[in-house]
């Protein structure tokens, strides 16, 4: 198993979305007494070759792109200092595209943080491809920080919410969620959603479940069992349980309206086994009303 350096890493590009990500990441690093690393990928290769530029024109363009990157880094550092003046901050400005740069950075981070929108390199993160690539291949938990239309509606004491489905990846997410709730001093709401139609893991085919009453009892037992050990480890965390007859993505999206953080595994027990990012986590990354922390399965090195 690989070890990670004690840092929170955030990708920035100077946009409003990445500004929110920096503020969130700085707060997390401060709470955990960890170093904050701020990174920005210049992605200059496409400017030269894709644009057909050479010589003085290419050099001038590179200087402009580098200046923009340095400005984004400087603004992010100032914001981090305003949140915690004693926070240890390091920066890096590599000449690399954002996605591979962020994935590589995740090898050495406790958590990777990205914004909901961006300009240039991070601009298409909500479309699905870029966000899915980072979340699917990162080597640490990835937080996607989305802004709110009405920030004052949701109190800072809103709960941490975790999706529970009984899968090994979900178990890891539960542990992360308990830790976050304990650090923040807020309740944890465990959401377990089920319905009469489930999907076979191996073929993706649907089957109808009978006797919903007995099924509900089994799902309640699953939720209780999954939380038991973690309750003993984190006795300071107040726990709420939400067992709902619905699709997980619907239940968790509704919870995101009042939560300060949602924690999910990158894949659950349903859907297609070949998918690196499950439908629930993908829907939350794209549409949740609060930051979403996606926990990837730990991979032995």
What is the tens place of the pLDDT at every residue in 118-150?
444 444 444 445 566 788 889 999 999 875 544
Q: What pLDDT was estimated at residue 270?
A: 46
Q: What is the pLDDT of residues 212-267, one digit of tens each?
A: 557 778 888 889 999 999 999 999 999 999 998 888 899 999 999 899 999 999 86
Ordered strands of the 7-11 beta sheet = 89-92, 35-39, 7-11, 111-115, 142-145, 292-295, 261-265, 160-163, 188-194, 239-245
Give 59-66 contacts, CB < 8 A, sequence gap 24+: 66/42, 66/93
Q: What pLDDT was estimated at residue 230?
A: 95
Q: What pLDDT was estimated at residue 236?
A: 97
**Mean pLDDT, 10 residues at a time, the chain of 301 residues:** 71 83 95 96 61 58 84 95 97 89 93 73 46 82 73 67 88 95 96 67 46 73 90 96 90 93 77 54 86 78 38
Annotated domain spans of the chain = 7-145, 160-295
CATH code for the part of the protein at 7-145: 3.40.50.12370
Beta-bridged to residue 192, according to DSSP, are 243
Nearest residue to 243 (alpha-carbon basis) of 282, 216, 270, 278: 216
Q: What pLDDT was estimated at residue 44?
A: 61
Q: What pLDDT was estimated at residue 76?
A: 96
Per the structure block, which two tokens stand in for 68?
Answer: 């923009």
Is it true that domain 160-295 has CATH number 3.40.50.12370? yes
Do 7-145 and 160-295 have matching folds? yes
Are 237 and 266 in contact by the 8 Å Cβ rule? The answer is no
Q: What pLDDT was estimated at residue 299?
A: 47
In sequence order, which ranges of 185-292 are alpha helices (DSSP H)? 212-233, 248-255, 279-287
Are 291 and 184 in contact by the 8 Å Cβ rule? The answer is no
Nearest residue to 169 (alpha-carbon basis) of 290, 18, 55, 270: 270
Pairing status of strand 142-145 against strand 292-295:
antiparallel
Q: What pLDDT was estimated at residue 10?
A: 96
Q: What pLDDT was estimated at residue 41?
A: 84
Q: What pLDDT was estimated at residue 131?
A: 60
Are 43 and 53 in contact by the 8 Å Cβ rule? The answer is no
Q: What is the torsional sign of CA 129, 28, 73, 88?
A: negative
Q: What pLDDT was estimated at residue 210?
A: 52
């Amino acid at each position: 198993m690989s070890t990670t350096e004690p840092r929170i890493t955030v990708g920035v590009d100077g946009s409003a979305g990445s500004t929110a990500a920096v503020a969130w990441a700085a707060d997390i690093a401060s709470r955990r007494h960890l170093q904050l690393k701020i990174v920005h990928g210049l992605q200059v290769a496409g400017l030269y070759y894709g644009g057909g530029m050479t010589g003085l024109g290419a050099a001038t363009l590179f200087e402009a792109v580098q200046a923009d990157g340095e400005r984004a880094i400087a603004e992010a550092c100032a914001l981090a200092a305003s949140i915690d003046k004693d926070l240890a901050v390091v920066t890096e400005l590599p000449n690399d595209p954002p996605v591979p740069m962020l994935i590589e950075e995740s090898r050495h981070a406790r958590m990777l943080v990205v914004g909901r929108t961006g300009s240039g390199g991070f601009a298409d993160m909500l479309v699905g491809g870029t966000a899915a690539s980072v979340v699917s291949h990162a080597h640490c938990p990835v937080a996607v920080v989305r802004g709110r239309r009405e920030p004052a509606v949701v109190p800072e004491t809103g709960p941490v919410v975790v999706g529970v489905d009984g899968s090994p990846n979900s178990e890891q997410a539960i542990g992360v969620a308990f830790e976050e709730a304990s650090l923040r001093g807020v309740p944890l709401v465990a959401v377990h959603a089920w319905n009469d139609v489930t999907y076979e893991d191996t073929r993706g085919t649907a089957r109808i479940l009978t006797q919903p009453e007995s099924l509900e009892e089994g799902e309640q037992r699953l939720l209780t069992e999954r939380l038991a050990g973690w309750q003993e480890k984190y006795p300071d965390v107040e726990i709420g349980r939400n067992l709902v007859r619905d699709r997980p993505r619907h239940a968790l999206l509704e919870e995101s309206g009042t939560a300060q953080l949602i924690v999910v595994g990158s894949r659950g027990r349903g859907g297609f086994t070949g998918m690196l990012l499950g439908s629930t986590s993908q829907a939350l990354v794209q549409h949740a009303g609060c930051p979403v922390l996606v926990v990837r399965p730990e991979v032995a090195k």
